[in-house]
Amino acid sequence: MKIFISADIEGISGVVHRDHTGPDSEGGRSDEYRRARLLMTRQVNAAVAGALEGGAETVVVSDAHGSMRNILIEELHPAARLVTGSPKPLSMMQGVEGSSGALFVGYHARAGVPGVLSHTYSGRTVQELRIGSRVAGETLMNAGIAGYYGVPVLMVAGDSAAAAEASQVLEGVRTVAVKEAVGRYAALCLPFEEANRLVREAAREAVASAREVKPFVVPPPVTFQIRFTNTAQAEAATLVPGTRLVDPVTVSFTHEDYIVAFKAARAMIGLAHIADA
């Protein structure tokens, strides 16, 4: 049995500020980022250990934050294989194909929701993302990628807002709140070892009962609609062939294939980011 883990950083226990999320954050402290990378790696290790205990024979971990070069491979569980670096064709979900289940670790709430460092894919450009008529964050978007390949999302671990969001949109998913969101840059965190114990237990139980959970499948045609921060970003996004300008800051793209629509949304966001650089 192959289990896939997508690992972000904002939802890791102890991570609460931009200083923790990368070395290039404004006024950022590189020592705080180094700490956060280690915390991320150790929380992922808890999920790997739980997956193995639940019956996984192969575990693939995809580093899913920012540059996607955060997890310390020398500290990673020896049974795990790491997908690192970017860009990757499936971005945060690279390596999910052929898995029996997916685990999301370190996830955060979508843009506009009170939660620790909440955003959707790009905090600088995306105000809101919809898949069809449903407002979506990275949890739902990535669950759709997993579902496209017939893979169910078994567990989501992150802050309390991320856990609540996952429970609302994914039937049968197990959630772990490793910290309670107090504000955008503040949280009441569980002791780190306790958080890791809960992640490990949930991963073990989720993998052991993987056959009971159905994949989240978005029926075609699939529409990604993005509301950007300003008109320059939206104008740049319309350079993607097949896009439609809904209003001065909102662009949509529709296709029969979920992955084609997802990649178009990524291209739209990338162009919007460049336009406002």
Show which residues are catalytic.
119
CB burial of 177-189 (b: ≥16 within 10 Å; e: otherwise) equals bbbebeeeeebeb
- CA atoms of 146 and 258, how far apart (whole Å): 11
What the block records as the tokens of 199 is 């992640």
CA atoms within 13 A on the CB side of 29: 7
- CA atoms of 234 and 59, how far apart (whole Å): 39
Contacts of 7 (CB under 8 A, 6+ apart): 40, 43, 44, 47, 61, 62, 63, 64, 65, 71, 104, 105, 106
